[in-house]
Structure 1
């Protein structure tokens, strides 16, 4: 089955014309993340629990990057 890659509806050109962002897809038992400007460069694979934790930290602005 081919993954259905999705990106945020907020990335639809409303950010100064830039539409590059992270894309997400459900991959069998895991979640895939990839860069929309380089989709053929591969993707990260996370468990659903790890993906949920990443989203929660991002929403809290709790990532130390």
Structure 2
């Protein structure tokens, strides 16, 4: 994970599967990285992953593997 760098100009989006509530995560793509934050607390910080880390996270979620490293 990369430190929470300046994300003030990031364009955040929610999944189309979120149902419109505030109980999901938001994603922004910044400089080839993926930044992720909690939609309920957008000022609470975010974390950044390199593109390969984001692809790995998506693969683990899709596979239903909560303990994947």
**Structure-1-length-normalised TM-score:** 0.82
Runs of 4+ with deviation above 4 angstroms: none
- Bigger radius of gyration, 1 or 2? 1
Q: Deviations over 1:1-60 (max 9, x none)?
A: 8111011111134xxxx4321000011131100000000011011000000001001100
Distance between the aligned counterparts of 2:9 and 2:37, measured in 1?
A: 15
Q: Secondary structure at the match of 1:55?
A: helix
Distance between the aligned counterparts of 2:11 and 2:25, measured in 1?
A: 13
Could you say what the CA RMSD is over the residues aligned between the two structures, in angstroms?
A: 1.8
Unaligned runs of 5+ in 2: 1-7
Q: Compare relative contact order (CA 8 Å, sep 6+) and give the higher one, 1 or 2.
A: 2
Question: Of Structure 1 and Structure 2, which has the larger fraction of its residues in helix?
Answer: 1
